Structure 1
Amino acid sequence: MDVVEVRASPVLPVADLERSLAHYAALGFLTSRHDDTYGFAAWSGLELHLTVAPRAGTAEVFLHVPDTDAVAAHLQSVGVGSTTMPVDMDYGIREGSHVDPDGNLLRFGSPLTSQA
């Protein structure tokens, strides 16, 4: 099987689709809805699917970004959700995170300059 490109779109459970779409729009994502229970948030090649679901838990997504500090500064400046500023991890990644209103965790990171 020849695979030219593989792409993943994580599906995040949300309690209130309208609130989640507004949250991701405030972060700079392009948002749209499929219907009253399913929507999309796209940013820089990433597409998140948002679905109204019974509270079976939350999701976690790791985003590989070119500049962790720039992403963190942007997310922090918007002032929605909860953003943790980046720190150097012992596994060679500078990593930060953002939690949306439903508790879904977006971790983001880039290789430490000494590791690149």
Structure 2
Amino acid sequence: MFESVAPIIPVRDLDAALARYRRLGFAARAYDGPERYGFVDRDSVSLHLTEWHQHDPLTTASSVYLYVSDADAVHASWRDGVEGRLGEPRDTPWGLREFTYVDPDGTLHRVGSPLR
């Protein structure tokens, strides 16, 4: 039985990325050890962050899909003060209301909720 998944996302500056995820409503903490590694959690979603100085958003980008209960509400809460590119919510042919967010490290976050 699969129980959970935690994608590992490369970031250039762990401290900046942890602060960014806090502004997005995640609980964020750095690994208490020699590696530059972090954990961000919101409800049942967990993401891991690894600081990688060679990370180049043009060639080593990553993406995650976040299923949420209300994409419009999440979008509204992310609208002010978020760094990067935030797309507008739209209805998709596959039955989701979704938007995109590309952070300064080049990670594409697709966020969606079921159409009602």
Alpha-carbon distance in 1 for matches of 2:42, 2:81? 15
Q: Which amino acid aligns with 2:23?
A: A
The size of the alignment, in residue pairs, is 110
Paired residue for 2:29?
32
Contact 1:39 1:51 in 2 (8 A): yes
Q: Which amino acid aligns with 1:6?
A: E
Does the alignment pair 1:79 with 2:49?
no
Paired residue for 2:115?
112
Residues 48-91 of structure 1 show CA distances to partners (whole Å, capped at 9, x for unaligned) of 10001232611111111111100111111333332112101111
Note the C-alpha offset of 1:27: 1.3
TM-score normalised by length of structure 2: 0.86
Contact 2:62 2:108 in 1 (8 A): yes
Does the alignment pair 1:19 with 2:19?
no
Does the alignment pair 1:10 with 2:26?
no
Alpha-carbon distance in 2 for matches of 1:83, 1:107? 10
Note the C-alpha offset of 1:46: 0.9
Say what the alpha-carbon RMSD is for the aligned residues.
1.5
Which of 81, 98, 102 lines up with 1:99 in the alignment?
Answer: 102
Alpha-carbon distance in 1 for matches of 2:4, 2:115? 25
Note the C-alpha offset of 1:26: 1.3
Unpaired runs of at least 5, structure 1 = none
Q: Which amino acid aligns with 2:26?
A: F
Alpha-carbon distance in 2 for matches of 1:91, 1:99? 21
Paired residue for 1:49?
48
Does the alignment pair 1:61 with 2:64?
yes
